[in-house]
A = this chain, B = another copy of it.
């Protein structure tokens, strides 16, 4: 296993070219947030916007549109029950994020199938939370696209068939190879399984053990892969590293870190990183 270091940040987060516009930074379509779990998709969307994606659209239950716009007017809204509209938003997206707060009932399943039916090979597709559970339970085929799974250990058990206690690097790698997807296995010292390499994250803090932390990570992977689309793999690694690096900084002064604090800190954090390793100051929030 290869240790993921802050070098990934300097490789990925570069100064933006002057002659760029929002189209340069990709489109993210997020799908999730049923009537009960609206906060999850709002947190994921906040992460995508604050990461710097050019355009962000959130397809969710209509009961969440007011709260979405209250916090995040930058995101556009779609009713996730409107299959045609969701399809029209999935198709042109640079990255699709599906799962945060989606739920696992019949409606959730229909929405997930609709999303899966409209992705294509050129897209990044981040599959998170209940979308993973549904795939496993319903034995859904993996959709087209550059697939990135962001399971916690129980979700990985469901998807891979490997019990948590049996989840070794070798076994995980074997399933990853069969899937041909990137797997961000969230745990103490998160592991990232890719076609070429297995990475381990050695930073992070127990102050991150708070509901919504994973939704935020999924949204960041969405935002980074859309914005830094030349290398979705490096973008994913940079998102995973940034998520915990920002949390560590906040946790210096806080017992817990609220997920939205990570998202809201990203613009300042990423500015420090674009200057490159030798120039940035440790302790960006101070």
Interface residues of A (CB under 8 A from B): 13, 16-22, 24-25, 35-40, 42-43, 46, 49-50, 52, 54-56, 62-79, 152, 187-188, 205-207, 209-213, 251, 253-260, 266-271, 273-274
Contacts and interface: CB of A to CB of B under 8 A. Distances in A.
Point out which of A213, A254, A259 has the most chain B C-beta atoms below 10 A from its C-beta: A254
Contacts of A254: 267-268, 270-271
A184 to B, nearest CB: 15
23 contacts: A13-B255, A18-B205, A19-B206, A20-B206, A20-B209, A22-B210, A24-B209, A35-B77, A38-B69, A39-B77, A42-B69, A46-B73, A52-B210, A52-B255, A64-B66, A67-B69, A70-B70, A73-B212, A74-B212, A254-B267, A255-B270, A255-B271, A256-B270
A156 to B, nearest CB: 14
Contacts of A270: 254-256
A275 to B, nearest CB: 10
Contacts of A69: 38-39, 42, 64, 67
B74 A37 contact: no
Contact of A38 (B55, B73, B206, B257): B73
A256 B39 contact: no
A251 B19 CA distance: 16
A186 to B, nearest CB: 9
A266 B258 CA distance: 11
Contacts of A39: 69, 72-77
Given A38-B73, A39-B73, 5 more contacts: A18-B206, A21-B209, A36-B77, A39-B75, A254-B271
B258 A38 contact: no
A210 B268 contact: no
A231 B257 CA distance: 24
A281 to B, nearest CB: 12
Contact of A66 (B40, B70, B268): B70
Contact of A40 (B24, B73, B268): B73
B22 A213 contact: yes
Nearest to A65: B63
Contacts of A207: 16
Nearest to A271: B255
A55 B269 CA distance: 27
A167 to B, nearest CB: 14
